[in-house]
Amino acid sequence: MTGPQVPTVALSRLDRAIATVAPRYALKRYEQRVRLEAASRFFGPGQYSGARIDRPATKNWTPRLGGPNSDSAPDLPALRARSADLVRNTPLATGAVHTIVTTSVGTGLRSNSRIDRELLGLSDETADAWERKADRIFDWWAESKACDIAGRFTFYQLQDLALRTTVERGDAFAIRRFVERPGDLLATKLQLIEGDRVSTPLGQLETEALFLGVEMDADGRHTRYWVRDADPGDYNFRQAWSWIPVDVYGKESGERRALQIARPTRLGQIRGVPLLAPVIEHLKQLDRFTEAELMAAVVSAFFTVFIKTPDEGAGLMPDMTPTNQTAKANLDPRQVNMGVGAVVGLEPGEEPVFANPMRPNTAFDPFVLSILRQVGVALELPFEFLVKHFTASYSASRAAILEAWRSVMTRRSWLVSDFCQPCREWVITEAVLRGYLVAPGFFDDPLVRAAYCRAEWTGPAMGQLNPVDEATAAEKRINLGVSTLAEETAQLTGGDWERKHAQRVKEHRVRVAAGLEPEVLGVKTTAAVAENAPAKLPAPDSGDPSQDEPPADQTVRHAA
């Protein structure tokens, strides 16, 4: 009996060349080819036309199946540079990034403490008081520039910069610093750095444990970030670069000390990729096309009249005639400067030729809009949202806004998870350590600590195309019990419902005292109540006069 035969695969010239310089890689490559040949013989050809190599549309399409890091790591420097250049110089890319950041963060994502009262065993009054104090402490830290290590930005401005950097360059990093400064309530400070500064130090090789400046353990958990002491693209005031190791977790406490703000698209991906990566080429080509069309339109607008004259220089305009020898020496006789209403003289024997550039190009706008639709799909921005041009019907415009809002909420979710919530936990932890907040069991039980740090994050509201209909729908959802006042407040106007309710109560009392509002809003007059009162159902005749009155809840309403 003979075992299964191993198929043989002939070595190509490329295989031999690779084996000469990288025998280990060549052996691995040859092994994969043998396995693929064996699988093809055993299973036979598949049934997906997209995998066929004998069809005209796919025979020259042979992409490489790379890993989550090998697909992106070699291209990251170029992707970051080109993405940043597009954001700086291309209006469409600039507008797309601004739209994403403005709708996702806007004036800032704000938190409201929502501790687990049941787990902590706190009464509603005690829990409310604890939440108000915690929010007061965090709001002081977030609204002041004391949260920034450089003292330049508030926490809400740092949210904008963190998301903007992540979208443009792929990822950003936040480091917790502890610096005592006079006048500060807390010593917790944040230092945001761009992903370009996190890299493997010179002289060290990329390995499984250290890749692109990220040091990991055997499980793939990030343990240390290697941060260059200055941005590699900025002015170099140092003789040589140096790298600073930043531990992700405290060695003794295990507390988180550094954060990576990124949105990976593959499992095992270590560094983030710029959001514009799939559309970089499209945006650049579209920018070149726009510039060319603009220049063609300008040239077409400069209609120049050529006049044939027998005398030299007779046809030149006075302002084009050289007035001195220096000007004559610098004047190129073959150079024609175009201008509004310019008249250029020709040499004897030369004939004028008028070109018709056919500008503006009537096909320019439809073509650009078609490309922008593809760009919008890649960036999760509907076309109307991308170009800020709502000319469709009400239902179509609302559908575009709702579709865009799904991606907005997704970006908010991972920004809160990667950046906002960990920063709040740092603040609450320091407040407990300093005795500003009393939290029994905070450092003894991770579950208790998580219960004290729970919070809800809300950002700017979506906005409404028809505020009256939106408010009516919100009222119906609340009355049906499928939504709450807190949820509808966050969606319609943003902010905290409890704070708005307290302010509304205060305003109502002042207006009642001034006679501008009734003491109880929405109460009808006695006549109106009697007119709209529901009719009583007749009771069955039981023979007992005491049973002639129907039950109080047995009523029907008048038909409209």
What does the pLDDT look like over 321-361, one tens digit per residue?
A: 444 445 445 555 555 566 666 666 666 767 666 656 667 77
pLDDT tens digits, one per residue of 108-122: 999 999 999 999 999
Whether the per-residue pLDDT at 41 is higher than 80: the answer is no
pLDDT at residue number 345: 65
Whether the per-residue pLDDT at 446 is higher than 70: the answer is yes
Mean pLDDT of 433-443: 95
Rounded distance, CA 117 to CA 346, Å? Answer: 91
Using CA atoms of 410, 415, 416, 422 in order, give the dihedral in degrees to the nearest 10: 150
pLDDT at residue number 244: 93
Coil, strand or helix at 214: strand
Residue 468 CA from chain centroid, whole number? 30
pLDDT at residue number 547: 45
Handedness of CA 331, 334, 335, 339 (dihedral sign): positive
DSSP letters spanning 312-349 = TTTTS-GGGS--SHHHHHH--TT-----TT-EEEE-TT
pLDDT at residue number 519: 84
Whole-number percent of the chain with pLDDT over 90: 43
pLDDT at residue number 510: 86
For residue 441 the two structure tokens come to 């069991």
Place of tokens 């607008």: 301
For residue 289 the two structure tokens come to 């096309």
Please give the helix or strand (H or E) that residue 470 lies within, else none. helix 467-480
pLDDT at residue number 503: 81
pLDDT at residue number 122: 94
Average pLDDT across the chain, whole number: 82
Amino acid 54 reads D
pLDDT at residue number 469: 79
- Assign residue 108 a region (left: φ > 0; alpha: ψ between -120 and 50; beta: otherwise): left
Rounded distance, CA 119 to CA 547, Å? Answer: 51
pLDDT tens digits, one per residue of 504-522: 888 888 888 888 888 887 6
Whole-number percent of the chain with pLDDT over 70: 79
C-alpha neighbours within 13 Å on the C-beta side of residue 392: 12
Amino acid 361 reads N
- With CA atoms as reference, report the closest residue to 459 among 190, 159, 174: 159
Burial group, residue 300, by CB count within 10 angstroms (0-12, 13-18, 19+): middle
Q: Give the CA angle between residues 211, 213, 214 to the nearest 5°.
A: 65
Place of tokens 């797309």: 96
- With CA atoms as reference, report the closest residue to 461 among 26, 109, 225, 182: 109
Rounded distance, CA 542 to CA 512, Å? Answer: 51
Whether the per-residue pLDDT at 105 is higher than 50: the answer is yes
Rounded distance, CA 24 to CA 30, Å? Answer: 10
Q: Which of the four pLDDT bands, split at 50, 70 and 90, describes residue 310? A: low
Q: Which of the four pLDDT bands, split at 50, 70 and 90, describes residue 103? A: very high
How many other β-carbons are positioned within 10 Å of the β-carbon of residue 8? 8
Place of tokens 């005749």: 541
Mean pLDDT of 223-251: 87
Q: Which of the four pLDDT bands, split at 50, 70 and 90, describes residue 185? A: very high
Whether the per-residue pLDDT at 558 is higher than 60: the answer is no
pLDDT at residue number 317: 46
- With CA atoms as reference, report the closest residue to 109 among 145, 148, 150, 157: 157
The larger pLDDT score, comparing residue 13 to residue 83, is at 83
For residue 363 the two structure tokens come to 């096909």
Least confident among 178-192, 233-247, 316-330, 400-414: 316-330
